[in-house]
Amino acid sequence: MSDKLIEGKSFEFTGLSIKTADSVYKTLSHPFQLIATNRTNVQETLMLFKYELTHNFTNLNEIEYLPINSTVDVQVGVLRDYGITTGSTNDNTWTRRELHVHQDGAHIRMTLWNEQARRIQTSMV
């Protein structure tokens, strides 16, 4: 299998297994997970169409009614940036950024993890 997938390129996967995702670890809106095995093969392929990233924006007032650990898209203003924290758990290094965000009178604490937390180096306020 490929050692590294490159952002912006397209790949074809063969030999994947499909199973129902455990709801505890599921972060996507569909109920399946793809599992790579020693039979899985990955090849770079040409994308014959332009992929348009889609968003399904959720209002902050609706978040309390969603299942726990739901993944959502939001458009918010940042009230406070608490900064970036880095740590290590079980020999895995992680980065976290805590924000206080608002939209239409509702405000919540938002946590960005790893690459998303490091993407903007200055304060987001």
pLDDT at 76: 93
Domain boundaries, the chain: 10-45, 60-118
pTM exceeds 0.85, yes or no: no
3-class DSSP string for 96-112: EEEEEEEECCEEEEEEE
- Averaged over 109-125, what is the pLDDT? 86
Please give the Cα distance from 2 to 19 (Å, whole number): 22
Among 16-25, 44-53, 102-111, 112-121, name the most confident range: 102-111
Give me the CATH code for the 60-118 domain, please.
2.40.50.140
How sure is the predictor about 1, in pLDDT bands with cuts at 50, 70 and 90?
very low
Render the burial of 28-58: b for 16+ CB within 10 Å, e for the rest: eeeeeeeeeeeeeebeeeeeeeeeeeeeeeb
pLDDT band at 79 (very low <50, low <70, confident <90, very high): very high
Would you place residue 3 in the very low, low, confident or very high pLDDT band (cuts 50, 70, 90)?
low
